């Protein structure tokens, strides 16, 4: 899956993108990632997202629920903070999203009113991204579970470094064995082979950051913290523009 942007538009580009907890991560410095969004419904927080424009949040398509709100400026879910809470005006699932094949797992959320940028709420603009090289280190963040046996997500924002794994290896019999197929619209990233590092339930929709740029959106995995089942992220890129649809950011 690809996503491209200009100052006034974002284009879903399709050529073929559930995981979600931070395994072996650490609490980030409060509000050091001010672009992080938290999606919440009546049952509580369920997904993350990234503020890419004062009125738009990018998350995963599989995070869609009938009714939810978006919170910005959150670090500790349990503490009173200067949050900005917005309702959802519109949502746009990638038109080529396929839940069974786990491709194009992207959703844009239009907020009912723009956020005000502050020290704790800031936009992370989309930039031109290259395919991260296998072996390179990226960062994933979220409020998801911190272990496969955990029954609830983390109260505080956590992050962990993950290592990019090449697609042939990720498709190999020992790893995903083409179930599902890891395409060029996916990024596999997890353990460096020595220390377990992963995302897990609750981190879905949150960012995969490489060199500080938004390169992926947390999409899926099998289990949590299993070296041979790394997290899989929908690749966010400005290139290879086979446009399925465009959404104006205004």
Write out the catalytic residue numbers: 62, 105, 204
- Provide, for the chain, the percentages of residues in helix, strand and coil under a 3-state DSSP scheme, each rounded to the nearest 5: 5, 40, 55
Is residue 36 a contact partner of residue 75, using CB atoms and an 8 Å limit?
A: no
CA count, 13 A, side-chain hemisphere, 41:
10
The two three-digit tokens of residue 213, written as one number: 């740029």
Angle at CA of residue 90, ends 88 and 96, nearest 5° = 125
3-state secondary structure of 93: strand
Question: Are the C-beta atoms of residues 67 and 41 closer than 8 Å to each other?
Answer: yes
Distance (Å, whole) CA 23 – CA 218:
14
Which residues are paired to 161 by β-bridges?
Answer: 139
d(CA 224, CA 139): 16
Please provide the distance, in angstroms rounded to a whole number, between the alpha carbons at the two ends of the chain.
23
Q: Specify whether the CB–CB gap between 159 and 33 falls below 8 A.
A: yes
Residues 6 or more apart whose CB falls under 8 angstroms from that of 161 comprise: 137, 138, 139, 197
């Amino acid at each position: 899956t690809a996503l491209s942007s200009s100052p006034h538009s974002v284009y879903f580009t399709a050529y073929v993108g559930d995981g979600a907890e931070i395994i072996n991560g650490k609490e980030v410095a409060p509000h050091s990632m001010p672009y992080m969004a938290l999606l919440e419904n009546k049952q509580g927080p369920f997904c993350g997202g990234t503020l890419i424009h004062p009125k738009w949040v990018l998350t995963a398509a599989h995070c869609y629920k009938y009714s939810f709100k978006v919170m910005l400026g959150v670090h500790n879910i349990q503490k009173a903070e200067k949050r900005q809470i917005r309702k959802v005006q519109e949502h746009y699932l990638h038109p080529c999203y396929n839940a069974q094949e786990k491709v194009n797992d992207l959703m844009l959320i239009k907020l009912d009113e723009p956020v005000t940028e502050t020290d704790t709420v800031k936009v992370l603009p989309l930039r031109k991204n290259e395919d991260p090289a296998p072996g390179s280190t990226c960062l994933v963040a979220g409020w998801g579970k911190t272990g496969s046996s955990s029954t609830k997500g983390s109260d505080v924002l956590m992050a962990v470094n993950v290592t990019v794994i090449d697609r042939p290896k990720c498709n190999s019999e020992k790893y995903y064995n083409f179930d599902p197929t890891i395409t060029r619209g996916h990024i596999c990233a997890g353990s460096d082979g020595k220390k377990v590092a992963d995302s897990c339930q609750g981190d879905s929709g949150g960012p995969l950051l490489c060199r500080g740029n938004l390169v992926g959106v947390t999409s899926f995995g099998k289990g949590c913290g299993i070296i041979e089942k790394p997290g899989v992220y929908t690749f966010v890129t400005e290139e290879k523009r086979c446009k399925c649809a465009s959404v104006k950011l205004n």
